[in-house]
């Protein structure tokens, strides 16, 4: 590792093959914590390259626990690390999408640079993580949604979890997470915290010939926040949407803040699904859900998808999906 670090400290970058090999060795615990921390720190000081991103992703997918959950699955996930401390918007949107009739294989993890990640809030609500294919298929059958807790599927992520938590900073692992859902969903809506990362994702996902929508609020959120205009990038091009274009008034950032603890975050999560959310909270989750539904090209245009998302939330269908998942 010392030679690798010296090479990187001299402003060099890794090839795809080198990146894949190094992350594989990290997963196999071949380096000590200080060496791995130094390696991760390199990517806090400069952006990851496309070659490095490809290599890291290939390593994670090759080492991952394999599951075949069928086709026609969607995922909505953010890089995290936008520093905005919102409630769990993409996870809530996942249940709304499931309630509207689209099967979801949600990939998630504990929060690292945020109070409560998707894994934190679902665990707090009583969900037991699993990586058995039969159990996950059963969840899909009864709840229209299954949850894939990243450390159970990615040994490399599990081995660096304490280090990431200790740093408490956004690292390149945040960037890898949305790209390595082991169920390989057909439809991916990925929130990104800046446009440089969006470009990297765009190149990689186009190269892989995947269906994708990359979402970036121009004031820095890794989701449709309705606090500013949103750029959406797909394989067909890119477009900027105002909150009004998406069917809502612009909202204040304070209106979509999350809790200061995991238990607070879980209470917010449950209250929104129970129909007790504020107008701003409901607007944000249904807007994000509508983007996912539209991306599948099965539910009509955006306005039709927004109506379906609202109906899923207001009728209690989204809450039923959570109830079936936990029970």
pLDDT band at 262 (very low <50, low <70, confident <90, very high): very high
pLDDT band at 175 (very low <50, low <70, confident <90, very high): confident
pLDDT band at 52 (very low <50, low <70, confident <90, very high): very high
Q: Which range has the worst mean pLDDT, 101-110, 152-161, 254-263?
A: 152-161
Q: CA 84 to CA 327: how far, in whole Å? A: 32
Q: Is 26 within 8 Å of 63 (Cβ atoms)?
A: no
Q: At the top level of CATH, which class does the domain 2-63 belong to?
A: mainly alpha
What integer pLDDT is reported at residue 113 of this predicted model?
Answer: 64
Q: In the predicted model, what is the mean pLDDT of the chain?
A: 93
2 or 303, higher pLDDT = 303
* CB neighbour list of residue 292: distance below 8 Å, 6 or more residues apart: 74, 76, 93, 94, 97, 102, 187, 189, 213
Backbone φ and ψ of 301, nearest 5°: -80, 180
What integer pLDDT is reported at residue 170 of this predicted model?
Answer: 72
**DSSP 8-state assignment for residue 310:** H
**Mode of pairing for the β-strands spanning 104-108 and 237-241:** unpaired
Q: In the chain, what are the domain boundaries? A: 2-63, 74-326
> Is residue 189 within a helix (H) or strand (E), and if so which, with residue range?
strand 187-191
The whole-number average pLDDT for the span 244-271 is 95
Q: pTM for the full model?
A: 0.93
The CATH fold of domain 74-326: Pyrimidine Nucleoside Phosphorylase; Chain A, domain 2 (3.40.1030)
What integer pLDDT is reported at residue 305 of this predicted model?
Answer: 98
Q: Does the structure show a pLDDT above 80 at 159?
A: no
Q: Does the structure show a pLDDT above 70 at 238?
A: yes
Q: CA 125 to CA 205: how far, in whole Å? A: 33
The whole-number average pLDDT for the span 149-161 is 82
- The strand pairing partners of 211, in sequence order, are 187
The whole-number average pLDDT for the span 212-220 is 95
State the sign of the Cα–Cα–Cα–Cα dihedral 324, 112, 266, 257: negative
pLDDT band at 166 (very low <50, low <70, confident <90, very high): confident
Backbone φ and ψ of 147, nearest 5°: -120, 130
Q: Does the structure show a pLDDT above 90 at 234?
A: yes
* CB neighbour list of residue 304: distance below 8 Å, 6 or more residues apart: none
Give per-residue burial for 78-106: e unless 16+ CB within 10 Å, then b: bbbbbebbbbbbbbbbbbbbbbbebbbbb
Give per-residue burial for 24-35: e unless 16+ CB within 10 Å, then b: bbbbeeebeeee
């Amino acid at each position: 590792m010392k030679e690798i670090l010296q090479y990187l400290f001299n402003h060099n970058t890794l090839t795809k093959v080198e990146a894949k090999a190094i992350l594989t060795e990290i997963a196999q615990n071949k380096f000590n914590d200080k060496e791995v921390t130094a390696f991760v720190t390199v990517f806090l000081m400069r952006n990851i390259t496309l070659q490095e991103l490809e290599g890291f992703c290939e390593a994670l997918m090759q080492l991952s626990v394999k599951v075949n959950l069928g086709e026609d699955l969607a995922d909505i996930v953010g890089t995290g690390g936008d520093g905005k401390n919102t409630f769990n918007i993409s996870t809530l949107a996942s249940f709304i999408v499931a309630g509207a009739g689209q099967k979801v294989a949600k990939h998630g993890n504990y929060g690292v640079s945020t109070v409560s990640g998707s894994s934190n809030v679902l665990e707090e609500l009583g969900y037991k993580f699993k990586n058995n294919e039969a159990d996950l298929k059963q969840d899909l059958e009864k709840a229209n949604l299954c949850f894939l807790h990243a450390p159970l599927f990615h040994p490399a992520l599990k081995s660096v979890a304490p280090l990431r938590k200790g740093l408490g900073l956004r690292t390149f692992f945040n960037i890898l997470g949305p790209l390595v859902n082991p169920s390989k969903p057909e439809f991916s809506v990925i929130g990104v915290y800046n446009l440089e990362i969006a470009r990297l994702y765009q190149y990689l996902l186009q190269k892989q010939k995947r269906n994708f929508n990359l979402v970036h609020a121009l004031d820095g959120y890794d989701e449709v926040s309705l606090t500013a205009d949103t750029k959406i990038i797909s394989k067909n091009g890119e477009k900027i949407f105002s909150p009004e274009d998406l069917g809502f008034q612009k909202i204040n950032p304070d209106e979509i803040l999350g809790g200061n603890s995991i238990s607070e975050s879980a209470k917010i999560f449950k209250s929104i699904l129970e129909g007790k959310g504020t107008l701003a909270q409901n607007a944000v989750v249904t807007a994000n859900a509508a983007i996912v539904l539209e991306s599948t090209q099965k539910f009509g245009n955006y306005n039709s998808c927004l109506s379906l998302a609202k109906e899923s939330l207001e009728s209690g269908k989204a809450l039923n999906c959570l109830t079936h998942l936990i029970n």
